[in-house]
Amino acid sequence: MAFCLLVFLILTSIGRENVVAHGSFTSLTCNFPAIFNFGDSNSDTGGGSAAFCAVPPPNGETFFGKPSGRFCDGRLIIDFIVEHLGLPYLSAYLDAVGADFRNAYDVNFSTFVSCSENISAFKDNLPKPEDFSKALYTFDIGQNDLTYGFQHTTEDQVNASIPDMLDHFSTALQLLYKEGARAFWIHNTGPIGCLPYSVIYYPSKSGNVDQNGCVNPQNEVAQAFNHQLKERLTWLTTQLPHSVLTYVDLYSAKYALISDAKRQGFVNPLKFCCGSYYGHHVDCGKRVTINGTVYGNPCTNPSAHISWDGIHYSQAANKWIANNIISGSLSNPPVAINQSCYINENLV
């Protein structure tokens, strides 16, 4: 994570605005001036494209009409969050100095690329220093760390590595706090064992799958990660007295959608729209003809699929999930995202 970018900023206390009393209750709207997102490709709005290879079509076809740096046919959960808060879509910080960072900002990689060429020409696109302490800091973490472990070690070894992962996360969050960040909206990791990719490549054994066809051992590790993440955030609350740490149970939202896919209008949640892993690994955006069969074309109706490419969720699924988390019903404390700069002591 590119925390070094924040070191030079002058930061103040968190803003709490629009307090309206209703009897014995208080309704508060935070009016975040910006969002700063830290995460993997589930919330990357272009950092990967800028740093490595551009995300190819048909990614972006449903909403943007062209690739938008997102591994999705359209919008991600973070996009629906910024829409809900009335902010523009995130600019990736690696996307060039000319990108618009005034309202939202996506941090996906640990290398900050500095640029010294005529930065004053772009000063109007940079965030105001006073906005950093009033901004919402969102995190979507865990999937890459756990998946890498599943691919190279055993579930037991991945389980044993979770405290170390969370140590690094804690250090990063404490650094942000030290530089002035106060409001944190933190997603736990989803049911990795329900990703079509995981189901296809995991060795099939009796008792390894649940009633939805998801890989039980991988989901159990994801749940262990989430349990320890929640405990760590409880501890961090005591260490960072002026912080507002909201733990968001993304796992439950995603698993609920997968479990109720048909009734919600989706096809089998273990099917995906773009690319191929059956017999021939063809990434979404690539086309390969083998023995007269073309692999890699997208499906005709991405909105009917929960999974876009076997790893990432479709826009339709992301919208459903976002609608089920922004209200705060799956959060601890249970506050809506537009009130997550404020903690009601009765909810803690």
Q: CATH number of the domain at 342, please.
A: 3.40.50
The angle subtended at Cα 334 by Cα 250 and Cα 86, nearest 5°, is 75
CA atoms within 13 A of residue 57's CA, in its CB half-sphere: 6
Assigned domain for 284 exists: no
Q: How confident is the model at residue 41 (pLDDT cuts 50, 70, 90)?
A: very high
CB-based contact 309:284 (threshold 8 Å): yes
Report how many domains make up the chain.
Answer: 1
Residue 180 has pLDDT above 50, yes or no: yes
297 occurs within a structural domain: no
Residue 281 is predicted with a pLDDT of 87
Write the pLDDT tens digit of every residue in 70-102: 999 999 999 999 999 999 999 887 665 456 656
Read off the pLDDT of residues 102-160 as tens digits, 9 standing for 90 and up.
666 676 533 334 334 445 555 666 778 888 999 999 999 899 999 999 999 999 999 99
Whether the CB-CB separation of 176 and 137 falls below 8 Å is answered with yes
* Res. 278: pLDDT tops 70: yes
Percent of the chain with pLDDT over 90: 68
CA angle, residues 283, 286, 291, in degrees to nearest 5: 95
Q: Is the pLDDT of residue 297 over 90?
A: no
Catalytic residue among 44, 106, 309, 340: 309
Q: How far is CA 280 from CA 264, 271, 291, 342, in A?
A: 31, 16, 12, 50
Domain assignment of residue 43, yes or no: yes
Is 312 annotated as catalytic?
yes
Lowest mean pLDDT among 163-177, 201-215, 290-304, 310-324: 201-215
Does residue 19 lie in a domain region? Answer: yes
- Would you state the pLDDT for residue 51? 82
Rg of the Cα trace of the chain?
20
User: In the prediction, which pLDDT does 95 show?
Assistant: 62
In this structure, is residue 72 part of a structural domain? yes
Whole-number pLDDT of residue 127: 73
What is the full DSSP assignment across 223-249?
HHHHHHHHHHHHHHHHHSTT-EEEEE-
What is the pTM assigned to this prediction? Answer: 0.85
Question: What's the pLDDT at 120?
Answer: 54
Per-residue pLDDT tens digits for 8-40? 232 323 333 333 333 333 467 999 999 999 999
Is 168 part of the annotated catalytic residue set?
no
Give the domain range for residue 184. 3-113+126-270+313-347
Among 91, 145, 187, 312, the active-site one is 312
Range in 58-67, 211-220, 283-292 with the lowest mean pLDDT:
283-292
Query: Is 286 domain-assigned?
Result: no
Whether residue 329 lies inside any domain: the answer is yes
Q: Is 331 noted as a catalytic residue in this protein? A: no
Catalytic residue among 41, 68, 198, 314: 41
Q: Has residue 322 been placed in a domain?
A: yes
